[in-house]
Amino acid sequence: MDEKFLGQMADKSSEEQYSPFPEGYKIGKTKYVIITGSVISGIGKGIFSSALGKTLQDRELKVAPIKIEAYLNVDSGTLSPYRHGEVFVLDDGTETDMDLGSYERFLDMKLTKDNFTTPGQIYKKLIEKERKGEYNGRDVQYIPHVTGETKYLLRNLAIKSKADIVLVEIGGTVGDFENLFAMESARQMIYEEGPENVCLVNLTYIVEPSHLGEFKSKAAQLGLRELMRLGLQPDLIVCRSQHPVTETIKEKISLNANVPLKRVFNTYDVDNIYELPLFFRKQGIDEAIMEILHWEKIHKVNGSKSLKEWTDKNAAEKKDEVTIGIAGKYTGTSDTYISIVKALEHCSTALKTNVKVKWIETTDIETGKKKIEEELKGIDGLIIPGGFGTRGIEGKIACAKYVRENNIPFLGICYGFQMAVVEFARNVCGIKDASTEEVKHDPENNVICILPEQEEVEGLGGTLRLGGFDIKIKKDTKAWNLYGKKDSVRERFRHRFNVNTKFIEKLEKCGLIFSGMAPEKKIMQILELKDHPFFIGTQYHAEFTSRPLNPNPVYLGLVKSAIENKK
């Protein structure tokens, strides 16, 4: 569309046909790739967006990803891991969907609140503006206000990030009521920015019923028809499947979606997700996007040497194998601890050792349904991850005791750190009723108490101690050596409770070492034991900063110790 016309319309508050454009915004300077999904949820849009971003980075393009969620929550902080997987915390304290973790790992970026939004956030902004009278008596509507605010977020990200391409992942599937606002916003973006500045990609799933032994594309066809019914014509279709699909399937998809056959691709399951960027390059997915955006002659690829090197390093041959147990209470799905699993994968690559994960349900140990000796049998190291609430904590405490007494390498994360303190207080310091304020109110025995600044907090969402904080590390400790003898590091936190300061002296006298703490507050952040192969607890989530080819030091230390322990 004519840029002057759009600007004039944006300035007419009485009409408000279009959203206001951020200051300095120029149509065409930043282009957009919008990614939607159809047929089923969990299709892998986050991994696709991340891997695609990597191929675009290889073209020396600056990429800015954003996830537009479908749920009404303001953020992901109050969601159960069973319902939506892990809550990933950004350095600025934003609690997000786990797809932001994929973006950070693939693209090696530190993202912010600008890279994540929900309808809850958007509606909250609209209501605040309405209460202040900023709409000059106008009724607030789905169009143009909800869609206008959504488009503004995308353009604002383009301005702030100075990106060449903004990757927009729309949560949910085509046909959901929850993401209709995002779909309509996408339609308007294509209209306003011009088709040469926006590429619409749809990931669809090709089912392969086991009792038939062949692919069926009808569900995918119906999903694409629904997308087009919303006024969205995909430029490019990616057929997700377990196995490579036939050419006939691609032809059917092409015909039913008005998309040229050369722009219908198939991404099937691979052994290593870090193969995907080069896999996309070989198929020509990023090249097709460049053509759609009229950039094919500007941003060429001089071979794929750097991408191949990155892929080869992430697919290094594994010579040995160790088993790391993860003892938690959300073990029904690996998505609840996905960043931990990825951090172990990074260590696996760095140490050329296959790291197997054994899931240990601490509720079963707590109730006596399973014996701890049997559950921890065969593990070479143990992780007790974060969590909330009372269920399964006695099982976690029992696991911490077992690995401490049997010299099995151990890493306690957040709640795992706190349970290690409780176990040590009970069984080494003689505080038999030691516990945490999260379980019971017992000031005389609770070695874990609520942070002082958290005492007056009433709500749950966004009220924890969140985000990146500096950690002062004690010299000549295991933590100090793990972090390359640095006196200070930065990691990400998500907690409300802390080691009770009145017990610190006693715990230290009994042999517990607090090797990391907050620089200005008496908040213990790393613990360790001296006479143990590897016994480390961190109040922070070290997995959030682990990257392919650059594993987090505490995870690397755990796996190294597990390898030695197995020998």
Q: Count the Cβ atoms, other than its own, within 10 Å of residue 309.
A: 11
Parallel, antiparallel, or unpaired: how do β-strands 95-96 and 264-268 relate? Answer: unpaired
Give the burial string for 79-116 (b: 16+ CB within 10 Å, else e): bebeebbbbbbbbebbbbbbbbbbbbbbbebebbebbb
Q: Which of 347, 399, 414, 449 is catalytic?
A: 414
- How open is the CA angle 531-536-539, to the nearest 5 degrees? 145
Per-residue DSSP letter, 503: G
Annotated catalytic residue 214: no
3-class secondary-structure state, position 380:
coil
Give CA 67 to chain center in angstroms: 11
Question: Can you give the three-state secondary structure of 179-199, one letter per residue?
Answer: CHHHHHHHHHHHHHHCHHHEE
**Residues facing 198 on adjacent strands:** 32
Q: Which long-range contacts (CB under 8 A, 24 or more apart) does 438-446 make?
A: 438/388, 438/389, 438/390, 438/496, 438/497, 439/390, 439/393, 446/500
Burial of residue 555 (CB within 10 Å: 0-12, 13-18, 19+) is buried
Annotated catalytic residue 208: no
Annotated catalytic residue 491: no
Both tokens assigned to 518: 């907050």
3-class secondary-structure state, position 244:
coil
Q: What whole-number distance in Å separates Cα of residue 551 and Cα of residue 549?
A: 6
Q: What is the largest CA-CA distance in the chain?
A: 76
3-class secondary-structure state, position 488:
strand
Q: What whole-number distance in Å separates Cα of residue 265 and Cα of residue 254?
A: 10
- How open is the CA angle 76-77-83, to the nearest 5 degrees? 60
Radius of gyration of the chain (CA): 26
Q: DSSP H helical segments within 392-520, as ranges? A: 393-405, 415-427, 478-482, 504-509
- How open is the CA angle 250-256-258, to the nearest 5 degrees? 95
Which is nearest to 497 in space by CA: 391, 419, 396? 419
Q: Which of 69, 95, 528, 543 is catalytic?
A: 543
Per-residue DSSP letter, 181: H
Query: Taking a C-beta distance cutoff of 8 angstroms, is the pair 18, 192 a contact?
Result: yes
Which is nearest to 205 in space by CA: 218, 188, 189, 190? 218
Catalytic residue list: 414, 541, 543
